Structure 1
Amino acid sequence: MSSLLSRSKEQPHIRKSASDSSPASSTATTKGLRHERLSRLSSSGSSDLSNDKSTSHAESYFLRRENRLSAKKKAEEETANNDYKKMYEKAIATNQRLKSRLEISKQELSVIQDQLQRAQKGKPGDCGSNMLETEKKESWSLKKRISDMEEQLKVKEELKMENQRLKDENGALIRVITKLSK
């Protein structure tokens, strides 16, 4: 054990933080550091019984740690697979619900179309009379607007004619005034 302490004083440990290495190479770096530690521990040079115990202890520690990490990765992968499976099942359920709503909507549309066709063909008195009344009102209002516009055009023509007459009269007065002023 004392040789371990003296060796650790001679060779300082170099630790890499998680931010120093990329995520893809973190596994390889971790394995390399473990291998380096194991080789340092096994090549310490002393054949003490305590050194053998610490070496086997260190090896078992690293093996247990590696097993825990691999189990954790497997659990994460299973969780991710379960998440995808849940999402897939959810999407299928949503699709089924939307398909059923679409079918219901199609049925309602066909019923409404049938009612519309029956209303157009079967009962011309009810719907037809209302339509005729609205058409009559619209045509009457259009005729009224046309007659109003025709009256406005007549008034406009009369105003144009009167305006022209006043211009002619004004010209005549100007000529008279010019003759008188000479």
Structure 2
Amino acid sequence: MSSLLSQDQLRIRKALSDSSPASSTAATRSLRHERLSRLGSSGSSDISNDVSTNHAESYFKRRENRLSARKKAEEEMANNDYKKMYEKALATNQRLKSRLETSKQELAMIQDQLQRAQKGKPGDCGSNMLETEKKVKAELKMENQRLKDENGALIRVITKLSK
């Protein structure tokens, strides 16, 4: 049995050294299968453990690769979300800045108009309106008094005629 193992080991070593890396895995698999069939039940458990360990290792490697790929995708998505949020905030900021500038210009215009109205500048007709209104008010008071006097005179004439 030991001579079989040593011959198998020599064959495996020779096959591994002669073959290319791509075909070495296939050769290793076939040699393992051959060794499993030649060995009895005592030797097969060690080799089957080796095979199952390789399967477990490859499973965990694939799983790690999937998880890392998923993590990278989530990070990229998060980065895209941050980029979109930044661009949206930047656009909002620009819009608000333009509105602020417009509001500042309107405020300056209104303050200028208010100062002109308070000072009574010649370009402003507010002071002329006040003088005209005063004159009209005085004329209306005089006419109102005249109509009251005329009304009183008419009442007196009517009372004398009715007697």
TM-score, normalized by length of structure 1?
0.49
Aligned counterpart, 1:41? 32
Between structure 1 and structure 2, the one with the greater Rg is: 2
Give 1:44-55 correspondences, 5 Å limit. Answer: 44=35, 46-55=38-47
Aligned counterpart, 1:9? 10
Aligned counterpart, 2:103? 111
Aligned counterpart, 1:76? 68
Q: Could you tell me how far apart the structure 2 residues matched to 1:57 and 1:15 are?
A: 27
Give 1:26-175 correspondences, 5 Å limit. Answer: 29=22, 33-44=24-35, 46-115=38-107, 117-118=109-110
Where 2:95 maps in the other structure, the secondary structure is helix
The runs of 5 or more residues in structure 1 that have no matched partner are 22-28, 125-182
Q: Could you tell me how far apart the structure 2 residues matched to 1:35 and 1:51 are?
A: 21
Deviation at 1:84, TM superposition (A): 1.2
Where 2:39 maps in the other structure, the secondary structure is coil
Identical columns (%): 8
Figure out how many residues of one structure are paired with residues of the other and give that number.
112
The verdict on how the C-alpha distance between 1:67 and 1:101 changes in structure 2, with shifts beyond 3 A counting, is: same
CA RMSD in angstroms, aligned pairs only: 3.3
Q: Could you tell me how far apart the structure 2 residues matched to 1:40 and 1:99 are?
A: 67
**Residue type of the partner of 2:31?**
R
Query: Of the two structures, which has the highest relative contact order with CA contacts closer than 8 Å and spacing of 6 or more?
Result: 1
The runs of 5 or more residues in structure 2 that have no matched partner are 117-163
